[in-house]
Chains A and B, each alone.
Chain A
Amino acid sequence: MNDLKQRIAYNKRWDTAFMIAGLLSTLVGFFLLTALMIDLFMDGAERLSYTFLTSFPSRFPEKAGILSAWVGSFLVLLVTVFAAIPIGIAAGIYLEEYARKNWITNFIELNIVNLAGVPSIVYGLLAVGMFVQIMKLGESILTGGLTLGLLILPMVIMATRESIRAIPTMIREASYATGATKWQTVRWHILPYSMGGILTGIIIGLSRAIGETAPIITVGALTFIAFLPTSPISYEFPFFSVKWFMDPFTVVPIQMFNWVSRPQQAFQVNAAAAGIILMVMTLLMNGIAIYIRYRFRKRIKW
């Protein structure tokens, strides 16, 4: 009996040791994030100011700001939204509600999974070859937005599918039982009920798009832009201009990359400040996404 008790104690020691190792390894990420945020803040907080947000880049680090960068980010994101969301949701609906189990469907699914794993820079190469060269869209906001749209498309599709999958078959059957067509069921039931999950996925996708650098560099975003793209709102009819589609541009992560690559220490302060802005935007968007998910789960309980 004592033998058994000794053996059990031995087993338990391993168990406890692993539990500690497990907790520590889970917290590694947490420690890294904390160190990262503190480091960014300590390095860059001094540069954060209204001037920083409203100035163009400059040869002098103290005067350099991210105005052109965040305007560029905003406009690019606008294009991304219209590029990725309609197609992504449509594809997700098709795959969950309409597609039959045949090889075409499997092939499409395999493609989507593969695209989700393709390195972001390969999307940049696609964009250079296709949008810039063949379609002659130039190194413009439109190109940048389309590229990011392609990048986050798999995410939107997968988020849409998961949200739709969560809807119980009973609800669908109830709708069909009233004589509704498939599209009517999708429009009046499936879409509204899955909107929360879809929105969450979209916002998380957009937060990823904001931070993307590599494909945008490849597409030819400039790193030193001392002007803003043409305003979308104009003073003459039709009061809305799309000239800004074709304008050159830069985005916040590229500006940060540019500053961090400079040897002068002062520019690194700028880089850190831009990093803080990026982190704030990322955290904000993720926070909103989580909040939407939470609110939607409370409203709809299957």
Chain B
Amino acid sequence: MVNETTKALARNLNFHYGAVQALRNINIPIFEKQVTALIGPSGCGKTTFLRCFNRMHDLYPNNRYEGEIILYPETRNIISPDVDPIEIRMRISMVFQKPNPFPKSIYENVAYGLRVRGVSDKRFLDERVETSLRGAAIWDEVKDRINSLAYELSGGQQQRLCIARALATDPEIILFDEPTSALDPSATSKIEELIMELKNTVTILIVTHNMQQAARISDRTGFMMLGELIEFDQTVKIFTTPSEKLTEEYITGRFG
């Protein structure tokens, strides 16, 4: 087995939406420069779990975190109220389910994260924008119209643009929330290829309702149900010889 470093660790993580408990005692390690996938039926809490990592729940009232998510190497609990969510979001990026480019040009979309950090040097921005667009495998398609509106791109291209936007700030982890569920099969496969390349530089945590996708691209998979983590293991093992009965039933399509 290759040397594995832990990038993040969820420890006894509980989460409440108001009076409803959505996550129960989740314990999961996220390994550096690997793709970790989360699967499970609708409403199992996988997206809720993902959004804990970049403190998205802070945007809405009546949400409560309990437990810890430790980010390495500083070993800090990023869901502690003492930790600034803005700082976390500058280090952990997110790609959403439906592509959500801003009503701006392609260039400005990618540069947004840098501008938020106060970067204004044009040459630096130009360079970064190009690197990110290349990293998202979309540079060739847009380099001639980099100042045109992002909305003019197709759905699949928009999603790759959002990935470029997420890459531009050099994140330590990228969170993917069902990134291909709104896309057609060819766009989906392009993004899956992209993710498998990106893992060489960034840690990736992906939520997907498409089991085959998880099987294709992830190194480790976690199966969740009703807010609990049922099983977590190497992807190969989960999909061939799962330990839990529930996992097996889900994989074989008994429910969900």
Tell me, yes or no, whether A binds B: yes
- A-side residues, CB < 8 A to B, are 4-5, 7-8, 10-12
Contact A4 B87 (CB under 8 A): yes
Question: Across chains A and B, which 3 residue pairs bring their CB atoms closest together, nearest first?
Answer: A7-B118, A8-B86, A7-B117
Interface of B is mostly: helix
Q: Name the A residues within 8 Å of B86 (CB-CB).
A: 8, 11-12
Tell whether, in the assembled complex, residue A10 and residue B118 are in contact, meaning their CB atoms are under 8 Å apart.
yes
Of residues B84, B90, B118, which shows the largest number of chain A Cβ atoms within 10 Å of its Cβ? B118
Q: List 15 A-B contacts (CB under 8 A).
A: A4-B87, A4-B90, A4-B117, A5-B87, A7-B117, A7-B118, A8-B84, A8-B86, A8-B87, A8-B90, A10-B118, A11-B86, A11-B116, A11-B118, A12-B86
Q: In the bound complex, how far is the Cα of B113 from the Cα of A11, in angstroms?
A: 13
Q: Map CB proximity to A onto B83-95 as digits: 1 under 8 Å, 0 otherwise.
A: 0101100100000
Contacts of B90 in A (CB 8 A): 4, 8
Chain B residues with CB under 8 A of A8: 84, 86-87, 90
**Contact bitstring B101-129, A, C-beta under 8 A = 1, else 0:** 00000000000000011100000000000
Min distance, Cβ A252 to any Cβ of chain B, angstroms: 45
Give the Cβ gap from B24 to chain A, nearest Cβ, in Å.
32
- Distance, CA A5 to CA B87, complexed state (A): 7
Seen from chain B, the residues whose Cβ lies within 8 Å of a Cβ on chain A are 84, 86-87, 90, 116-118
Q: Smallest Cβ distance from A130 to chain B, in angstroms?
A: 47
For the complex formed, measure the closest distance between the CB of B114 and the CB atoms of chain A, giving whole angstroms. 11
A12–B117 alpha-carbon span in the complex (Å): 12
Cα distance A150–B101 in the bound complex, in angstroms: 46
B-side contacts of A11, CB under 8 Å: 86, 116, 118
Nearest B residue to A15 by beta-carbon distance?
Answer: B86
Q: Which residues of chain A have C-beta atoms less than 8 A from B87's C-beta?
A: 4-5, 8
A5 to B117, CA, bound (A): 10
How far in angstroms is the closest Cβ of chain A from B140? 32
CA distance A8 to B118 in the complex (A): 9
In the complex, the chain A residue whose C-beta lies closest to that of B91 is A4
Shortest beta-carbon distance from A14 to chain B in Å: 11
Q: How far is B88's CA from A4's CA once the two chains are assembled, in angstroms?
A: 11
In the complex, which of the residues A8, A10, A12 has the most CB atoms of chain B within 10 Å of its own CB atom?
Answer: A8
In the complex the two chains form, what is the Cα distance from A176 to B90 in whole Å?
Answer: 55
A10→B119 CA distance, assembly (Å): 13
Beyond the given A8-B84, A11-B118, A12-B86, please list 11 additional residue pairs across the A-B interface where CB-CB is below 8 A. Answer: A4-B87, A4-B90, A4-B117, A5-B87, A7-B118, A8-B86, A8-B87, A8-B90, A10-B118, A11-B86, A11-B116
Cα(A5)–Cα(B84), bound, Å: 10
CB distance from B4 to the nearest CB of A (A): 25
Q: Which residue of A lies closest to B119 (CB)?
A: A7
Q: Measured between C-beta atoms, what is the minimum distance from A46 to chain B in Å?
A: 49
